[in-house]
Structure 1
Amino acid sequence: MPRWPASSSDRATVGGVTSRASRNVDFFCAVVVVGLLAGFAGLSTTVVLRFVEHLTYHYTFGSLLDAIAGTNPVRRAVGPMVGGGLAGLGWWMLRRRADVPPLAGTIARHERIPRLSWSIDALLQLVLVGSGASLGREGAPRQFAAVLSDLCTGWLKRLSRADREILLACAAGAGLGAVYAVPLAGALYALRVMLKTSHPRAVGAALLTSSLAVAIGSAVTHDRPELDWPSADSTYVLTAHGLVLAPLALAVGLAFNRIMAVARPATLLRSWVLIPALAAAGLLTGICSHWWPELPGNGKSILTVSLASGMTLSAAAVILVLKPLLTALFLRAGGAGGMLTPSLATGAAAGSLLVLTINSVAGTHLHLPAVSLAGAAGVLAVTQGSPVWAAIFVWELARPPIWLLVVFLGSAVGAHGLRMLAKRRL
């Protein structure tokens, strides 16, 4: 647990109790404000993202997957290309004039929040992802939530640097929770991924902010499919397959991390090359979507097909390869976006490939959605380094019966444990 420095109010000897009480009141008020603002950030970014999707693929109702499959071939290819070009133009103009530092490092180092550049960068991420780029959409609400929280709580002078770090990290986690409607996973993201602490002050703030944010964001995230899940009698069988899946999840997760590390430029691209590079990446994604309409976007379409048991063996194999490669292509071209859902979708494809192979060879009838989600949890545990968070995130995202959380934990903890064991031996 990090040892945060005490504030001047903590060190006061005269009226110290009153000072601490006042700071606690300020902190509680700030936590409530941050939760509400993060919910607004999640809601507004979701609305903007859906607007861009509808504009790109010219549809009014239904899912993005249906829209991509139903639109004409020219629009399917040109739409992502135009979106990539526009995002590239925006980043070229932004990065020539301002720095866009990473979220986690800026918060951890207690640096000044670049409100304007982060806000513009978040909008450009939505344009890129909404037009079909293979990147996650969670980066935009995390940044926007942090900007709003910093703007609206900066006047509370009694808060210490540690309190501000907690608030900003909770804002980022709550923004993530709001767009995916995952309150517990949003809180755990702030605690385990951003802060790496279990301090009671941080735990309470994370739970409250994430819950408030998800409640506000539910106005646009309430649409969840009703699926047929296996009975609890299958727990042992599915858990065994989740553990068997762990080595595959480890290999896929490590490969995903390696590909992204190689693809990510050492410094942000700032030249005009951003425009044709992102346009070309969008065009290639659009062309690939003629055969595999699940590829554009953050990966939700891949999860949708996996949960509906609509994935074929050949499609799972192709998506397992193409999804991380397209994500790396956008990173190499200078794009910005989240990595959670691309790695999640890659893991779902790996799980689908395994279960479809077993069902085909052995003639079994393993539950495709359950094993696909276990693969997603395993890969996410490797890419994010937090197996419990990964399992809970996947469970909250799909909302299966509670007992399936055991299956997801088995795959996530197994993959993460194998990684730790390999590190020790090396």
Structure 2
Amino acid sequence: MLPPQPAPSWLIRMVVVTALVGIGAGIGGLVVSAALHGIEHLAYGYSVGTFLDGISQAPPQRRVAVLAIAGVIGGVGWWALRRWGAPIVPVEQSIAGRRMPPLSTVINTGLQVIIVGLGASIGREVAPRELGAAIAGWLSDKAGVTSRERRILVACGAGAGLAAVYNVPLGGALFAVEILLAEISFATALPALATAAIATIVARIDVASTPLYTMPRFDLSPSLFVWAVLASPVFGFTALGFVRLVRLMEGIRPRSWRIVVVMPLVFTAVGLIAIPFPAVLGNGRALGQTAFSALMPIGMIAVLAVIKVLTTTATIGSGAAGGTLTPSLAIGACLGAALGGVWELAWPGGPVAAFAFVAAAAFLASTMRAPFTAIVLVVEFTNQGPALLVPTMLCVAGAVTVSYLLTRWRVTGVA
């Protein structure tokens, strides 16, 4: 007996709602991107070039002053929002069925964009994800879809927001199905692909279609292949340490009026650190490009990785909301460039930037616990060809395995 066929009205409604979710998420990503770039240029007084160019050319005292202002805006803003606004509903809770309060969500995402634009050392990807999820939830409620359909659409809206702001359509779709829904089926894959594609097209009004990071194409070398296998446990171990440190800082961050004092102090300290190390500012793109360019000594790149860990976790510990996607990628790329540079002394044959690429994917996969999404994101971020996929897949598999086993042993009391 054939299964019941979907009614044409249901199909039309789902197609329309899915398309509207993609359009809404694309507009959200477009607004986030435009606002972020405008704030960056205004804060650091540059009109052309990258964010790293802007902060490097700005006077040192300006970096400190801008970060101090970011701390004041963030501290006062989040204190007021958490005191008088409706409680913030994270994307994961919205997927589970809770409604995201519109005004609090917009203010929360706006504060994230402002502090990242001013140079706060934290990821910007949470803001477009929250906007995309909020828009998808509102549209789902208006359309009267089922609870399962709403769950899928909200996750797709969040993934589409990520796709829009970074121009990573496949990565955004995978983020929705692998991480948020943990279900790969026709019911999840089709709307995820459609919404991410539509959002990316809409956001390209402002978001450049060029890769986020610039690096040449590489060929596979025996040196890189062997290194990827041997170094993978290092990235799994260090990524797990970073995740635990982030969780520790989330647990101790101020939740009352103290945020008004703590956040400006922490942000000012980050600004002081940025006087000799400007690449640690922002969401991690500047530091990631530094690693992929491989223009610094490997010792300095390793130092920058450690500093980025400290500034990002301190920013989270100060009470700021934001993500760790691009900071994780940058930290992994720096670790890979440093370790790869040392490996090159013993076995030449692999460009340092290639080591950075492989390590970035492995570290990101371990922090996200999402190997497929991490690999696709790094490929889309860099527009790298398939030549590095085999060592990258092996390194990701080894790193995620180590991270998973260490987590399991700790939970069960073996370690």
TM-score (norm 2): 0.93
**How far off its partner does 1:84 sit?**
1.7
Of 116, 133, 143 in structure 1, the residue corresponding to residue 130 of structure 2 is: 143
Q: 1:144 Cα deviation (Å)?
A: 1.1
Helix, strand or coil: the match of 2:18? Answer: helix
1:254 partnered with 2:240:
yes
Contact residue 34 and residue 171 of structure 1 kept, 8 A: yes
Match of 2:287 in 1: 302
1:95, distance to aligned residue in structure 2 (A): 0.7
Q: State the partner residue of 2:215.
A: 227
Distance 1:107 1:351 in 2: 36
Q: Percent identity?
A: 31
8 Å CA contact retained: 2:214, 2:289: no
Cα offset for 1:398?
Answer: 0.6
Q: How does 1:14-413 map to 2 (within 5 A)?
A: 20-157=7-144, 159-219=145-205, 220-224=207-211, 227-231=215-219, 234-265=220-251, 269-359=254-344, 361-362=345-346, 364-413=348-397
Q: Would you say the 8 A contact 2:23–2:199 is kept in 1? A: yes
Q: Structure 1: which amino acid aligns with 2:397? A: V
Task: Give me the whole-angstrom Cα distance separating, in 2, the residues matched to 1:322 and 1:100.
Answer: 33
Conserved? CA contact 2:232–2:395, under 8 Å: yes
Q: For 1:355, what is the secondary structure of its paired residue?
A: helix
CA pair 285-422 structure 1, distance change in 2 beyond 3 A? closer
Deviation at 1:279, TM superposition (A): 1.4
- What is the deviation of 1:300? 0.2
Flag structure 2 segments of 5+ consecutive residues without an equivalent.
Answer: none
Higher deviation after alignment, 163-172 or 55-64 = 55-64
Aligned length, in residue pairs = 406
Q: 1:315 to 1:110 in 2, by over 3 A?
A: same
TM-aligned CA deviation for residue 126 of structure 1: 0.6
Report the AA paired with residue 327 of structure 1: T
Identify unmatched segments of 5+ residues in structure 1. 1-15
Following superposition, the deviation at residue 407 of structure 1 comes to: 2.6
After TM superposition, give the deviation of residue 393 of structure 1 in Å.
1.0
Give the SS at the match of 1:62: coil
Q: Name the structure 2 match of 1:4.
A: none
Q: Secondary structure at the match of 1:154?
A: helix
Change (3 A) 1:56 1:276: farther
CA distance in 1, matches of 2:408, 2:240: 16
Q: Aligned partners of 1:228, 1:199: CA distance in 2, in Å?
A: 35
Question: What TM-score results when the alignment is normalised by the length of structure 1?
Answer: 0.90
- Go from structure 1 to structure 2 and tell me whether the alpha carbon gap of 1:423 and 1:76 turns closer, same or farther (over 3 Å shift): closer
Deviations 1:340-399 (A, max 9, x none): 11111111111011012223x327252111111211111111111111211111111111
SS of 1:310's equivalent in the other structure is coil
Report Cα offsets for 1:265-305 as digits up to 9, x if no partner. Answer: 36x74433222322122211211112111100010011111
**Other structure's SS at 1:230 match:** coil
- Shifted more, 87-96 versus 218-227: the winner is 218-227
Q: Does 1:418 align with 2:402?
A: yes
The answer to whether the Cα contact below 8 Å between 1:39 and 1:216 also exists between their aligned partners in 2 is yes
* TM superposition shift of 1:155: 1.6
3-state SS, counterpart of residue 218 of structure 2:
coil
Letter in 1 for 2:268: L
For 1:70 and 1:363, how far apart are their aligned partners in 2? 37
Contact 1:347 1:375 survives alignment (8 Å): yes
Q: How far is the alpha carbon of 1:19 from its aligned partner? A: 7.0
Please list the CA deviations of residues 58-96 of structure 1 after superposition, one character each: whole Å capped at 9, or x if unmatched.
111110101111011110111111012112111111110
Q: Relative to structure 1, is the Cα distance of residues 423 and 255 closer, same or farther in structure 2, using a 3 angstrom cutoff? A: closer
In structure 2, give the amino acid aligned to 1:417: T
